[in-house]
Amino acid sequence: MRQLIAGNWKMNGSFAALAAYAGGLKAGLARVSAVDLLVCPPDPLVRPLIDMLASESVAVGAQNCAEKRAGAHTGDVSADLLAELGASHVILGHSERRMDHHETNAQVRAKAEAAIGAGLIPIICVGESSAERSQGEAVTVVRAQLAGSVPEGFTGVIAYEPIWAIGTGKVPTEDEITQIHEAIRTALVRQLGEAGAGMRILYGGSVKPDNAQAILALPDVGGALVGGASLKAEDFLAIAAAAAGG
């Protein structure tokens, strides 16, 4: 299976820096042709980045969508509008959304259903806190998030992001990553059958060029959801090159 290297810019990026980023990314695409690339900037940059890349080899997605398809929901952005802009994917249930905006598993599930209805590929995030891991509850927490967040018949992507590793520089051991990814795979097969057996499971949490190769070689790791390192085209390409074996 081709690995997916997805960049989550969070609330970073600017119009002024976009052309240079797109140019740097395009210049390095030849060496990462063996993997799939996805960049998820803030919503106002989705269409401009698509236009600047002008490349079918790099997908552009969004970081969130509304539960509803349309209506009186001031400040929300529908999955349908994101799809109309040209977005291919949407990140849902990121820990920052779950914590800062108190999103529940049920809301993430509803957003995933809206995204699928609009033709987007959802990337549903799951992950435990430091306290939950120290109490030995990591697998239990992630299984509960999957059970509540993943809709019936889901065909998207799952991303495991331990909350304590996001933006901290801390990274789980290879054994810890393998354990959770194996647990996620088992849960997906139980929930979704054959579709769960082949679903991509990304790892996210302080992924950098110097640790990417080891992480991406682990069983059941189908790619990476990259935060800060995706803001520099050179670093993002280096992570993608590690996935491609070089």
Q: Which residues are catalytic, by number? A: 94, 161
* Rounded Cα gap, residues 246 and 241, in angstroms: 5
Query: Residue 98: which residues within 8 A CB-CB, separation 6 or more?
Result: 104, 108
Helix locations, 124-170, DSSP H: 130-134, 138-149
Looking at residue 16, what DSSP letter applies? H
Element (H, E) at 215: helix 209-216
Whose CA is closest to 108, among 97, 96, 117? 97
Q: Is the four-CA dihedral 56, 222, 98, 171 of positive or negative sign?
A: negative
Interhelix angle 209-216/233-243, nearest 10 degrees: 20
Pair 78, 69: CB distance under 8 Å: yes
